[in-house]
Amino acid sequence: MYQFSVPHLESAFRLDSSQVVITGQTTIQQGDRQVLIFEVRLTQPDWWCRSCGCQATSRGSRSRQLFHAPNGSRPVRLLLRLRCFSCTLCGMYWSEQVPADLASAGSKLTRAAINWALVSVVLDGLSINAVARNLGTAWNTVNDAVLEAGYTHLISDPTRFEGVTTIGVDEHCWRHVGWRSDRFVTAIIDLTPRSDGRPARLLDMIPGRSKQVLASWLNGQSTKFKLNVKTVAMDGFTGYKSAVREVLKTAATVMDPFHVVRLVGDKVTQCRQRLQQETLGRRGRKNDPLYQARRLLLTRNKLLSETAAPKVDAIIQNPRYEALTRIWSLYQAVINAYENPKRLQGREKLACIIDALNADTTRGNPELRSLARTLHKRRNDILAYFTHPHSSNGPTEAINGRLEHLRGIALGFRNLQNYIHRSLLHTGGFKHHLQSLL
């Protein structure tokens, strides 16, 4: 059976400060919502003069309004009555101050409200606008408080970079409107496998996408972090590889399967578009065979349906599309090499595919010749995936998808620093230990 005690209003409404007590309550209508207001006073009056030590005389009180954690769907406000005093001996005048454990100096939000807002943003994925509505205050007030609390409690944690041995590097477009140069950032992802099964997490985001940007970030990290990083997964951008080779001299660079397969798939598309122009003299239309099969050519052969497979067979068996057939066959072979359950066999197959591409076999096929140059140039990075487990940039692309979702929640961002902080709170892996940090 339950053991009941006397109801405690302060505890029920998360007034954890022992220096205040609720003395009254009322409800007012504000727009379409009811607002619950509590009158709060300090339990221990400050009667004694700080100058001479004499007992003071009460001179009334002043009010201070604070926004508190909501009660369900109702915003809650605290009307804090702070008594004023004057010393009859020396004439000194003073008033009570807001307790530090209730709210910080100058803040409009109580600490309980800030913690509730931070949990709502990080754990529940609410927008700042929704949190501000539930608190009954302005967007700027909530946004500043959440970002400050998130940076203080979570982002600035010095242990956040400990134990990182594998990172992923990729560019990310955070602004999809306009053509300004600051639309792209470099995302650093922690790909280190966790014993507790936690997924990859965002470590940091840097404005820009170049060798200098990544090198500057790596040079700014601690020596311990740079020595611990053993593997760096990335796409085909050589600037990132040069930065890693320059700063992390002992780390292995890996071009992950996602970008290798995408690279070959892009060449399939380019070859299809070129043949479309050469055979019909125009772009593809809905009844053109090459245009109808534009997505089927990028699908694994064994995943094609009974109606789709004949369409692909008709194209690859057409002698006019010999160049497309060769690069499509290479595309399927690369996927099969990555799918091989035995990693060493998969590595050998992919190495044979790359080595087989030479000037003679790619003659007359510009897409295949360009692909061969790239694969030969990044051969070691491509094959390193098979000897460095957990080095795929797939989780990096997954985090990019979650950031796209974040922009949808917020209906877009205009301030890059706000976007970086919100991205770290959203995908920084803080959900598993947020409660222990607050």
- Cα separation of 208 and 191, whole Å? 22
Q: Does position 93 have pLDDT exceeding 90, yes or no?
A: no
Nearest to 190 by CA among 163, 157, 152, 171: 163
List, in order, residues 6 or more apart from 260 with CB less than 8 Å away. Answer: 236, 334, 338, 382
* Antiparallel, parallel or unpaired: β 74-86 and 33-42: parallel
- Cα separation of 87 and 58, whole Å? 9
C-alpha pair distances (Å), 219 with each of 215, 227, 241, 247, 248: 6, 12, 15, 7, 9
Q: Does position 178 have pLDDT exceeding 80, yes or no?
A: no
pLDDT value of residue 176: 78
Nearest to 256 by CA among 353, 390, 346, 357: 390
Q: Alpha helix locations (H) across 281-321?
A: 289-292, 308-316
**Residue of 197 and 341 predicted with greater confidence:** 341
Q: Does position 254 have pLDDT exceeding 80, yes or no?
A: yes
Q: Could you tell me the end-to-end alpha-carbon distance of the chain, in angstroms, rounded to an integer?
A: 32
398 and 167 in contact (C-beta within 8 Å)? no
pLDDT value of residue 169: 93
- Give the H/E segment covering residue 331: helix 322-339
Q: What is the mean pLDDT of residues 294-317?
A: 91
- Cα separation of 92 and 55, whole Å? 11
Per-residue confidence band for 1, with pLDDT thresholds at 50, 70 and 90: low
pLDDT value of residue 147: 93
**Residue of 272 and 432 predicted with greater confidence:** 272
Q: Does position 7 have pLDDT exceeding 90, yes or no?
A: no
Nearest to 37 by CA among 82, 68, 81: 68
pLDDT value of residue 181: 65
Average pLDDT of the residues of the chain: 88
pLDDT value of residue 197: 66
Q: Does position 190 have pLDDT exceeding 60, yes or no?
A: yes
DSSP 102: T
What amino acid occupies position 418? N
In the chain, DSSP finds a helix count (H) and a strand count (E) of: 17, 10
Q: What is the mean pLDDT of residues 100-118?
A: 90
DSSP 340: -
Tokens read off for 326? 């060769």
Per-residue confidence band for 58, with pLDDT thresholds at 50, 70 and 90: confident
DSSP 282: S
pLDDT value of residue 54: 77
- Residue appearing with tokens 């706000």: 418
- 170 bridge partner residues: 187
List, in order, residues 6 or more apart from 271 with CB less than 8 Å away. Answer: 323, 324, 327, 365, 367, 368
Largest separation between any pair of C-alpha atoms in the chain: 108
- Cα separation of 345 and 348, whole Å? 5
Chain length of the chain: 438
Q: Does position 171 have pLDDT exceeding 60, yes or no?
A: yes
Residues 360-390 pLDDT 10s:
677 888 999 999 999 999 999 999 999 887 7
List, in order, residues 6 or more apart from 367 with CB less than 8 Å away. Answer: 267, 268, 270, 271, 274, 323, 327
Nearest to 416 by CA among 149, 181, 137, 202: 181
202 and 424 in contact (C-beta within 8 Å)? yes
- Cα separation of 424 and 202, whole Å? 6
pLDDT value of residue 153: 87
Percent of the chain with pLDDT over 70: 94
Which of 212-216, 332-336, 354-358 is least confident? 354-358
Angle (CA) 121 98 10, round 5°: 65
Q: Does position 67 have pLDDT exceeding 90, yes or no?
A: yes
Model pTM score: 0.83
